[in-house]
Amino acid sequence: MFKDVLTRPAEEFGNDETLEHLWAAKAMEHSDIYFNVLCSVDTRLLRLTPHDDLIYTQFRQDFPDLDVRCINENEIKNSVNKARWRVFCEKFKNIVEDYSFGTLLRADTKGDYSEQNTILVPRVQFYAIEIARNREGLNNEVKKRFKCASKLNMEAQAQKIEIAS
């Protein structure tokens, strides 16, 4: 039901708070899962889509000098860059599923998803920046800096087993 509601035309809803809450929940769930993946694998080998090579190649052609280590929201969303990003995103309209779906992006690779370090971007923009971060080795610090939920849960379960033994 959740996915069905989010894929229906926006005109059907107006300003429905329920839909906003559903979207926010889905975006937060996606960010939690992605962050846990970053904590668990060598991100240089991580593939986010079947189209990673195409997205990365096109991204670096269109934005060769963009430093993905720390994204300045005002810089990527100013009138000039917003237009450039719109052209980039539209290239993937028929290639990447839900290419324009709002997705949460960490601004700085040194931080986690927090209110101060999160930007809302279209999904294909998230993919472009995160694929670049992964391939360029910038996300490998995450597992060194943070204990993600999955690791904390595994450690807590291990402690319970030790105590029970």
Residue 9 pLDDT greater than 50, yes or no: yes
Amino acid symbol at 108: D
Sign of the Cα torsion 98, 102, 104, 107 reads positive
- Look over the chain and give the mean of its residue pLDDT values, rounded to a whole number: 82
Task: State residue 102 phi and psi, 5-degree precision.
Answer: -60, 130
In which band, very low, low, confident or very high, does the pLDDT at 165 lie, cut at 50, 70 and 90?
very low
Give 68-100 pLDDT, tens digit per residue. 999 999 999 999 999 999 999 999 999 999 899
137: left (phi over 0), alpha (psi -120 to 50) or beta: left
CB-CB neighbours of 146 under 10 Å: 16
Sign of the Cα torsion 28, 31, 33, 36 reads negative
Residue of 9, 2, 1, 8 whose CA lies nearest to 26: 2
Quick one: pLDDT at residue 86? 95
Domains of the chain: 2-164 (1.10.3560.10)
Residue 1 pLDDT greater than 70, yes or no: no
Q: Is the pTM of the predicted complex or chain greater than 0.85?
A: no
